[in-house]
Structure 1
Amino acid sequence: LGADDYLPKPFNDRELVARIRAILRRSHWSEQQQSSDNGSPTLEVDALSLNPGRQEASFDGQTLELTGTEFTLLYLLAQHLGQVVSREHLSQEVLGKRLTPFDRAIDMHISNLRRKLPERKDGHPWFKTLRGRGYLMVSAS
C-alpha cells in the first residue's frame, strides 16, 4: 500500500483500527471504480474531454496533468453537470471516507482543479461553491 500513513507510538488501538478500515474501504472502492470505469463513457464539457478508462483529461486536445484524485473528482462533478453535489458525497465517492467537521481535503482538490483547468471557451467558471450545500459544475446553458 505504500507509506501514505504514519501512526506515532504510543497509539490508541481504536485509531489503528479506524485507519486500517479506511485503507480497506479505499482499496475496495478502487476495485469497484476500476471495474465500473471500464465501460464508462468519455464525457465532454465545453472543450474538456474526460476519458475514465485511461484516467485522462484533455482540453482542446492538450492533455491536462491531474492527479488520480483530481481526475476522479472532476469526472464525478461532470457526471452531475448542473447539479449540486454535497461535500459529504464527494468525500465518500472520491476519497473513500466520511467527511469530518474540519476536513478540507475536497476543498483543496477543488482549488487545485481551479488552478489547473484552463479558462473555459464559453467564459463560465468551471465550478460554483454553494456554501453549506456543496459544489456545482457549471453547464454551458
Structure 2
Amino acid sequence: MTHTHIANPARADKILVLDDDARIRDLLRRYLIQEGFEVILAEDSKAMNRIMLRDSVDLIVLDLMMPGEDGLSVCRRLRAANDRTPIIMLTAKGEDVDRIVGLEIGADDYLSKPFNPRELLARIHAVLRRRPAIESPGAPSSSQEIINFGPFSFDMSLRSLHKNGEELSLTTGEFAMLKTLVRHPRQPLSREKLAQLARGREFEPFDRSLDVQVSRLRKLIEADAAAPRYIQTVWGIGYVFVPDGNS
C-alpha cells in the first residue's frame, strides 16, 4: 500500500521513498517527517508510476535491489524520459558495480545499506541545495550567469545547457559538477575540492562516483570523450575546465 504523509505543506520538500522493505520505508517516513519533509512511500515501481502520474516530487530515495523492475531500470527509464528529479540510490554494502552503473545512468548520489538516517538526511540536503533557485514567473533572474564555451551556452541560473541552440539534459549532480568546473576556469581542482564544492561533503577514498559524473559530462559535451578538450584530466591532481578547449 502507498501512503502520503504531510509535515508542513507550505514549505516541505516532497520525498518519494521507493523500497520494497516495509521496515526501511517506515523508518524513513518517521525520520524525514520529523525533519520537516513531506514523504510519499512506494513499495515497487508500479506504485511509483501511479504516484508520478498524479504528483511531482523533489527527490527520490531509490533502493536498487527490488523485485520486479529494479532500481537501475527505474533510474534508466526516468532519465530516458528526460525526468531530472534528483535520485539518491540505496545499495547493498560492497556492491560497487551497481553503484557505478547507477551513477553512470544518472543517479545523483548513493548510500550503502545499512546506513545512519542522519547520513541520508545530509545527502538529501546536499542534493536539494544543488537545485537552481526558483524565480517568480516573469521576474528577471537576480543571479543570471551564462557561460559560453565552444558551441555551448550554460545558464547557471536556469540550470540549462544548450549546444548550438539545442538544450541538453542535465541531472542535478551533473549540473552541480559542471557549475563548479566552469566557475574555476583553468584552475585545476582536486577530487577533494570538487567533492566539497559540488556535493558539499568530504571526498571518500576509493569513491569512483565523482569520476563517473565527470565521465558522463564528457560524453555530453566532448566530441571525443577519450580525448577531452573542455574537461581535462590533471594527472595526480584532478580535473580542470578549459573554456577554449586548448591544452
| TM-score, normalised via structure 1 length | 0.75
Are residue 21 (structure 1) and residue 125 (structure 2) matched?
A: no
Residue 39 of structure 1 deviates from its aligned partner by: 0.5
Match of 1:129 in 2: 233
Q: Secondary structure at the match of 2:143?
A: coil
CA distance in 2, matches of 1:103, 1:11: 17
Unaligned segments of structure 1, at least 5 residues: none
Q: CA deviation digits over 1:29-68, x for unaligned, max 9?
A: 347x638x95041111122111112110012212112212
CA distance in 2, matches of 1:138, 1:30: 23
CA distance in 2, matches of 1:69, 1:38: 23
Unaligned segments of structure 2, at least 5 residues: 1-14, 17-60, 62-87, 93-112, 135-140
Match of 1:46 in 2: 150
Give the ranges of 4+ consecutive aligned residues of structure 1 lying more than 4 Å apart after TM superposition. Answer: none
Q: Secondary structure at the match of 2:133?
A: helix
Residue 25 of structure 1 deviates from its aligned partner by: 4.2
Q: Counterpart amino acid of 2:219?
A: R
Match of 2:178 in 1: 74
Alignment CA distance shift 1:114-1:124 (3 Å): closer
Compare CA radii of gyration and give the structure with the larger one: 2
CA distance in 1, matches of 2:119, 2:216: 28
CA distance in 1, matches of 2:228, 2:91: 44
- Greater relative contact order (CA < 8 Å, ≥ 6 in sequence): 1
How many residues are paired up?
133
Contact 2:126 2:199 (C-alpha < 8 Å) held by counterparts: no
CA distance in 2, matches of 1:134, 1:86: 4
CA distance in 1, matches of 2:178, 2:122: 26
Contact 2:222 2:230 (C-alpha < 8 Å) held by counterparts: no
CA distance in 2, matches of 1:39, 1:47: 23
Match of 1:65 in 2: 169
Q: Counterpart amino acid of 2:118?
A: V
Q: Percent identity?
A: 23
Choose which of 207, 211, 224 in structure 2 pairs with 1:103.
207
| TM-score, normalised via structure 2 length | 0.46
Alignment CA distance shift 1:115-1:21 (3 Å): closer
- Higher strand proportion (structure 1 or 2): 2
Residue 133 of structure 1 deviates from its aligned partner by: 1.1
Residue 22 of structure 1 deviates from its aligned partner by: 3.3
CA distance in 1, matches of 2:237, 2:203: 13
Residue 131 of structure 1 deviates from its aligned partner by: 2.4
Contact 1:38 1:52 (C-alpha < 8 Å) held by counterparts: no
